[in-house]
Amino acid sequence: MVVRHLLYSIGLITLVGCNTLPSDVEKKVENMTDCEKVNALITGAGDGFSILKGSEINGKLMKSWQPKAHLIEDSCQINLYTSGNTAYECNKAFSGKTAALVRFEQVNEKLKTCLSPDWEEKQHFGKESSRSTFTSDLSDTKVAVNFGTTLDKQKPWAVSLEIVK
């Protein structure tokens, strides 16, 4: 009886600890176009981006995962906050303002191209920052792209992306 409980416990731990996707899903994610990634992230916001979660990142303050799809190079992760909200977030730092601004505009254009016509963009411009927020009456998901300065002396410019429900 004790052995059976031990085996069940080990089996449950193995199932819960497994972070890999089935191979057919893994292949599909790897071969997605940028627009397919954007749409998967938008639809995945409702279930915590479960299909796009990769390996878990050990953190003390919150649970985080490496995503299977990155919209800004390899700078993204999926975060589960103590509030219960899950967000797909990317943060990329740049040493030059021009490079950061170009990346901001590329990400912004990618979103405009990939999101359906029911998504509305609101832009906010500051002296050293810009923000584009995309919302839709047909979705609870919000998408925000930011460009601005950081406190880092080596890479004082940054672009960030956030997708939340």
Over range 48-54, report the average pLDDT.
Answer: 92
Claim: this prediction has a pTM higher than 0.85: no
For residue 51, the model assigns a pLDDT of: 87
For residue 27, the model assigns a pLDDT of: 55
How would residue 29 be classed by pLDDT, with cut points 50, 70 and 90?
low
Region of residue 152 (phi > 0: left; psi between -120 and 50: alpha; otherwise: beta): beta
CA torsion sign for 10, 11, 17, 19 is positive
Looking at per-residue pLDDT, the higher value among 112 and 83 belongs to 112
Range of the domain at 84: 2-164
- Look at the chain and report how many structural domains it folds into: 1
For residue 38, the model assigns a pLDDT of: 93
